[in-house]
Amino acid sequence: MQSLPKYYLPGYNELTSLTNNHEKVILEIGFGNGDNTTFLASQNPNALIIAAEVYLSGIGSLLASISEHSFTNIKIFDKDVRELLLQVDQEIFDEVYIICPDPWPKARHHKRRLVQHEFLKLLAKVLKKNGTVYISTDWDNYAESMQEEIERTKDDFEFKKISNEGMPVTRFQKRAMNEGRSISTFLLKVLNQNIFLIHTLNLLLIISDIKIKLY
C-alpha cells in the first residue's frame, strides 16, 4: 500500500482543509471494490469524494482504479467511518452513499448492521441543507429493517424508495441479481430545520388552543 499516503485522509482536520477547493463533498461508506466510487469521481470531477472502507482488498482495488484513470478527487478513509463523523462539527457533506452494506444475515448479528436510526441521525447532523443519502441493499430482510430505521428518523429526513436506474451495478449487486435477489434503494433528503421548527411551533399552538378551549 505504498501509494495509500497520497490518497489517505487522516482525519477531520485534513477534510476541512480540502473542502474549500471543491464544489461539493460526497461521502461513500463501505465502497467495496470501488465501482461506485470511481463512477462518482468521474461524474463529479469538481467534487471531493471521501471513500471510507476498512478492508484492505477493497482499498487495493480502488487504488488500482485511481492509478488507471488518474483520479485526483478521491481520498480514502481506512477506519470506521464513525470515527470521522463524530469529529465533524459542521454541515459538510452534500451526498452520502451506502451501497449494499454488510447485511449481517443472522438474527443475533442484526445489532451490528450499519443502518440504524442512531447512525442516520449522525449523518443528518453532518449533511448540508438539501443533503441526500442513498442507501441500497440486496437483502429483503435488511431492506425491511432499513425502512423501519429510516421511519424512526422522520424528524431528520424525508425519504422514498427509488429505482437503481442510472447508478452503476457493482460486482456484489451483479452477484445478487444472478442469485435472484432484487436491489432495494432508498433516497433520504435531510429536512430543513427551519421547516421542522415551524411544524413544531404550529403543533404547540394547536395544543395551547385545545387547552384554552378545555378550560
Please spell the DSSP secondary structure of 84-152, one letter per residue.
Answer: HHTT--S--EEEEEEES-----SGGGGGG-S--HHHHHHHHHHEEEEEEEEEEES-HHHHHHHHHHHHT
**Number of domains observed in the structure of the chain:** 1
Looking at the chain, the whole-number percentage of residues with pLDDT higher than 70 is: 87
Whether the CB-CB separation of 125 and 87 falls below 8 Å is answered with no
Q: What is the pLDDT of residues 19-32, one digit of tens each?
A: 888 999 999 999 99
| pLDDT at res. 202 | 57
| pLDDT at res. 206 | 55
Of 133 and 178, the structure prediction assigns the larger pLDDT to 133
Mean pLDDT value across residues 120-137: 96
Whether the CB-CB separation of 150 and 119 falls below 8 Å is answered with no
Question: Which range marks the domain in which residue 40 is found?
Answer: 4-214
Active site residues: 102
| pLDDT at res. 207 | 56
Planar angle of CA 35, 81, 16, nearest 5 degrees: 95
| pLDDT at res. 33 | 92
Choose among 81, 86, 85, 106: nearest CA to 30.
81
Q: What is the pLDDT of residues 45-99, one digit of tens each?
A: 999 999 999 999 999 999 999 999 999 999 999 999 999 999 999 999 999 999 9
Assign residue 65 the CATH number of its domain. 3.40.50.150
For residue 3, give the 3-state DSSP assignment: coil
| pLDDT at res. 179 | 83
Cα-flanking dihedrals φ and ψ of residue 59, to 5°?
-60, -40
Distance between CA atoms of residues 28 and 84, nearest Å: 13
Q: Does the structure show a pLDDT above 50 at 196?
A: no
Distance between CA atoms of residues 80 and 53, nearest Å: 7
Distance between CA atoms of residues 128 and 19, nearest Å: 13
